């Protein structure tokens, strides 16, 4: 179970750590003309990432001109309360951005009938997905998200894809992240999306630091609260389901998030 209570050995979230992350985001924002795509799943890590980006846009005010596209994957087979939560978050973000003239655009990505869970399970006779045969990841997450991101790339000529992946998540994740070749700004090319660079702004945040920020910066700037998400994690068996853009992203089938 994901524990939300900090132990005596946990590293607290220092103000300097927050300011360093925000300053890094600010520097990257003005470093080039590439638009930003924020991968959002509604889980703790992607929520932290989105909140930091959103707070930066609010702080920049009229200086925020770079387009920000938020891509969220809705597989159509989540638990009803999770689907409702994601839809509510995206609606609040979209309404707040529009009301405040922010260059933020929301994309709720869903599989086509041919990519859908029941279309493959019943229509095509696929077996139920497993961690070894992850057709649901490919058809219901990767392909729909890729279609949207490819369109954003064509429109803007290149993007920076912001992911909420963290070294602290697992030894395997840390090894993969540290083994990627990066450019002079610490960004790495996406292996499957042309003209897309990947940024991981919260890579060095610990799980406890993520929770601390979400607890102490609740409600988020777009309205509503984090309370429902925090309660879901109290009940979950561990982990969250990220926006998946390649099969190197680990399966989240063991938790209450994801298909």
- Is residue 118 included in any domain, yes or no? yes
Angle, CA 142 vertex, CA 140 and CA 147 arms, to 5°: 100
Residue-level pLDDT at 182: 63
Report how many domains make up the chain.
Answer: 1
Residue 174 belongs to domain with CATH number:
3.40.50.620
d(CA 157, CA 35): 9
Structural domain boundaries enclosing 66: 16-235
- Is residue 254 included in any domain, yes or no? no
d(CA 196, CA 150): 9
- Is residue 41 included in any domain, yes or no? yes
CA distances from 120 to 79, 123, 128, 138, 241 (A): 19, 5, 9, 12, 21
Predicted confidence (pLDDT) per residue in 5-22, tens digit = 443 334 678 899 999 999
- Is residue 91 included in any domain, yes or no? yes
Predicted confidence (pLDDT) per residue in 188-225, tens digit = 898 888 899 999 999 999 999 999 999 999 999 999 99
Q: Is there a contact between 40 and 46 (Cβ–Cβ < 8 Å)?
A: yes
- Is residue 249 included in any domain, yes or no? no
Which residues are within 8 A (CB) of 43 and not within 5 positions of it... i.e. 6 or more apart?
164, 229, 240, 241, 242, 257
- Residue found under tokens 């909140």: 51
Q: Which of 75-79, 133-137, 222-226 has the highest mean pLDDT?
A: 222-226
User: Is this prediction's pTM over 0.85?
Assistant: no
Q: Is there a contact between 42 and 212 (Cβ–Cβ < 8 Å)?
A: no
Q: Which residues of 123-158 are buried (b: 16+ CB within 10 A; e: fewer)?
A: eeeeeebeeeebbbbebbbbebbbebbeebbeebee
- Is residue 255 included in any domain, yes or no? no
Predicted confidence (pLDDT) per residue in 159-199, tens digit = 999 999 999 875 555 555 555 556 658 898 988 888 999 99
d(CA 257, CA 238): 9
Strands 188-189 and 196-199: antiparallel
Residue 47: which H helix or E strand, with range? Answer: helix 44-60
């Amino acid at each position: 179970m994901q524990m939300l209570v900090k132990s005596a050995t946990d590293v607290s979230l220092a103000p300097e750590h927050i300011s360093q992350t925000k300053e890094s985001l600010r520097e990257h924002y003005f470093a080039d003309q590439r638009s930003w795509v924020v991968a959002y799943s509604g889980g703790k890590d992607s929520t932290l990432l989105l909140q930091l980006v959103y707070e930066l846009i609010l702080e920049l005010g009229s200086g925020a001109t770079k387009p920000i596209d938020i891509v969220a994957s809705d597989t159509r087979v989540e638990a009803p309360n999770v689907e409702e939560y994601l839809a509510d978050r995206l609606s609040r973000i979209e309404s707040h951005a529009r009301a405040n003239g922010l260059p933020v655009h929301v994309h709720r990505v869903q599989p086509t009938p041919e990519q859908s869970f029941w279309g493959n399970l019943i229509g095509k006779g696929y077996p139920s997905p497993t961690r070894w045969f992850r057709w649901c990841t490919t058809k219901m997450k990767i392909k729909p998200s890729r279609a949207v991101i490819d369109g954003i790339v064509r429109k803007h000529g290149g993007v920076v894809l912001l992911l909420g992946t963290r070294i602290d998540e697992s030894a395997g994740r840390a090894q993969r992240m540290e083994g990627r070749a990066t450019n002079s700004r610490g960004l790495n090319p996406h292996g499957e999306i042309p003209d897309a660079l990947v940024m991981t702004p919260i890579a060095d945040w610990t799980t406890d630091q993520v929770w601390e920020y979400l607890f102490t910066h609740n409600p988020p700037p777009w309205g509503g609260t984090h309370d429902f998400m925090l309660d879901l994690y109290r009940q979950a068996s561990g982990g969250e389901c990220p926006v998946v853009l390649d099969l190197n992203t680990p399966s989240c089938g063991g938790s209450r998030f994801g298909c």
